[in-house]
Structure 1
Amino acid sequence: MGLNKQISEVMSSPCITATLLDNVYELAVLMKKHDIGFIPIIEDSKLIGVVTDRDLVVRGYADKHSGSTAVEKVMTADFLTITPDATVADAAELMARHQIRRLPVVESGRLVGVVALGDLAVRDAFIHEAGAALNEISEHIH
């Protein structure tokens, strides 16, 4: 059954990443170019933060930061992760409980992939937990 699949089977890898040397404009360009809304921030091969398209808007442009603003000003440094050997059910439950759509997959501090709520639903069609998580998260985002 799909709920018992490991995250490593459904995650996106490799991932588009950035570093603290990048700025918010560069992240926005990466998001547009790759049609993504989530960029992990890496330092010395370790995951140190994440930036979402919402972070760029709320912490970047809405706070009147320019495009040259450092990534560190808008990134989320307190983020959740999951391991590649966790199950799809584990990820769906974690995402629903914390109201998040994307989850970095980390092994020994190193980013190995990203799993999005849509990955759970699309790759394992009609997984109840993923559908419920998406509904719950979507209700809280306006």
Structure 2
Amino acid sequence: MTIVRDIMSSDVKVCAPHAPVTEAAKIMRDVNCGSVPVCEGKKVVGMITDRDIVITCVAEEKDCKTVHCHDCMTSDVITCSPDLDIHECARMMSEHQIRRIPVVENGEMVGICSIGDLATVNIHVNEAGEALSHISEQIH
């Protein structure tokens, strides 16, 4: 059985709740991803996405240097345990329509698992593809 700990990334860039959204955007640019965990210390308190920044800040013509991550992040974050089976992780991503899931142990973030991490395990390519297709579906 392959578990999340076996495939997750443990070197995760995060931003603080009071950081300007420009900091989160720079992390997304540097890491080439569309979301960043928002943490107080090692505790996940939110996730901020490129879409959050565009809708809350750019589209409203606000100054991106003065809007903070906590102003536009999602605070109801879906997380998983590092000991979770990767099949279950793929199911959770599909069910909640998310591409990246913070991995939390004893209340502290220890990594992140992405849809790409699931796809690197050959036997799980179909599951990752299925999860991604569900994630990409529009909700009506």
TM-score norm. by structure 1 comes to: 0.88
Amino acid at match of 1:44: G
Does 2:78 match 1:75?
A: no
TM-superposed deviation, 1:65: 2.7
Structure 2 residue runs without a partner (length 5+): none
Give the stretch that moved more between structures: 20-29 or 99-108: 20-29
2:9 is aligned to 12
2:48 is aligned to 51
Structure 1 residue runs without a partner (length 5+): none
Question: What is the CA deviation profile of residues 110-130 of structure 1, one whole-angstrom value per residue up to 9, with x for unaligned ones?
Answer: 111111112101x11252322
Total equivalences in the alignment:
137
Cα RMSD (Å): 1.5
After superposition, where does 1:61-140 map in structure 2 within 5 Å? 61-68=58-65, 69-121=67-119, 123-125=120-122, 127=124, 128-140=126-138
TM-score norm. by structure 2 comes to: 0.90
Q: Structure 2 vs 1, CA of residues 66 and 13 (structure 1 numbering), >3 Å: closer, same or farther?
A: same
Amino acid at match of 1:80: I
1:36 is aligned to 33
CA distance, structure 2, for counterparts of residue 63 and residue 104 of structure 1: 29
Amino acid at match of 2:52: D
Give % identity: 37
TM-superposed deviation, 1:61: 1.5
**SS of residue paired to 1:9:** helix
TM-superposed deviation, 1:18: 0.8
Question: What is the CA deviation profile of residues 7-61 of structure 1, one whole-angstrom value per residue up to 9, with x for unaligned ones?
Answer: 0111111100111231011211221122222211111321111111121112222
Amino acid at match of 1:41: V
**SS of residue paired to 1:140:** coil
